[in-house]
Structure 1
Amino acid sequence: MDGDNMIQQPSIEQLNDIVEPSQASWWPLSWLTIVVGLAVLATVITLMLALMKQRQKSRVRKAAIQQLSQNTTVSVNQLTILLKRTALAYYPRKVIAEKHSSEWLNFLLAPLSNRERQAFNQLPEQAEKNFYGVAEESFRQKYYQLAKLWLSKNLSKQPGANDV
């Protein structure tokens, strides 16, 4: 074989080192990364706000329960004020403001089971004379029991509670 016909191999000294490319930069972010990041951030903020709101509502309910347990001889008027203040944390003001006497008692009875409701069925019928006159002791005691039962419920799961 002829030396001219052969391809001449370069010597090792003449070869250049292989240069590895630098790692891809994380900046600037891709549009997809930006959108996903913003969606995650919005979700986290929404969840935090919802948890804070739920915690505040729970505090109001627990404070009402504590206040109720400290004063077992609370009047019908004071009891109504306490329950309406608590209800305002869970329900729109318009819903609570329009409820009076028997409507208010029916509102309190709504989240109870049929069995629980049976013990308090006569309260709405007695509402007018007991809310706007001198309340009978038996009515006051039943109303107090209803208040304790209603406050023991998870009020955030009641109808209309998500409208606040």
Structure 2
Amino acid sequence: MTTNSTPLELQPLILPAVPSWFPLAWGWWASFASVVMALLLLTAFFLWRKKRLKAKRAALKLFVKPITPHTPSSAIELLRQAALCYYPREAIASLHGEQWYQFLDLQLGETRFSDKMPLWQAALYQNKHGEHDSELVNDCLVWVEKALPPKRGMRG
């Protein structure tokens, strides 16, 4: 047995390049694009909703302000201002009396105003506080909470 101590003439090993994440397959790009699009749509929706509910939040904030108690005349004025933010000015500005109360009932879906029209007419034009004032103010608060913003088909 002879031992050969001379090394063999071999070429050095050439390793392949490390696999890279880039370029990504088209499926990853599509997933990334859909996530970005979903985030943009969600952001746009929440900004639109915030803008749409701005007048309602302002009216509710004024209703629950504990500084001064609301009178029926101030409550109905606040309600009219809130309605003007959501409905066409021509439709709201021309309404008065029974037409106004019917409009409020129609938008609310229940009769809270037409049934109490004599109470409203008495409360709006007197200086002293009546026994039904808090009930009338509460009706205005309920209208702002439930009828605003208008549902589809109720805006015109």
Asked if 2 retains the 8 angstrom alpha-carbon contact of 1:91 and 1:162, the reply is no
One-letter identity of the residue aligned with 1:144: V
> Deviating runs (4+, > 6 A) in structure 1?
none
Change (3 A) 1:75 1:52: closer
2:148 paired with 1:159: no
Change (3 A) 1:95 1:21: farther
One-letter identity of the residue aligned with 1:57: A
- Return the match for 1:130 from 121, 125, 129: 121
2:146 paired with 1:148: no
Change (3 A) 1:93 1:151: same
The residue number in structure 2 matching 1:104 is 100
The residue number in structure 2 matching 1:16 is 13
| Distance across 2 between alignment mates of 1:110 and 1:12 | 98
Count of residues paired in the alignment: 143
2:62 paired with 1:70: no
Unaligned ranges ≥5, structure 1: 1-10
Shift in Å, 1:69:
8.3
Change (3 A) 1:69 1:31: same
One-letter identity of the residue aligned with 1:52: K
Asked if 2 retains the 8 angstrom alpha-carbon contact of 1:61 and 1:151, the reply is yes
Asked if 2 retains the 8 angstrom alpha-carbon contact of 1:83 and 1:147, the reply is yes
Asked if 2 retains the 8 angstrom alpha-carbon contact of 1:68 and 1:148, the reply is no
Q: Which has the higher helix share?
A: 1
| Distance across 1 between alignment mates of 2:69 and 2:60 | 14
Please give the TM-score of this superposition, normalised by the length of structure 1. 0.56
Shift in Å, 1:103:
1.9
Higher relative contact order, structure no. (Cα contacts within 8 Å, ≥ 6 residues apart): 2
After superposition, the CA RMSD in angstroms is 4.4
| Distance across 1 between alignment mates of 2:56 and 2:23 | 44
The residue number in structure 2 matching 1:47 is 45
Shift in Å, 1:134:
4.1
Residue identity (%): 18
SS of the residue aligned with 2:10? helix
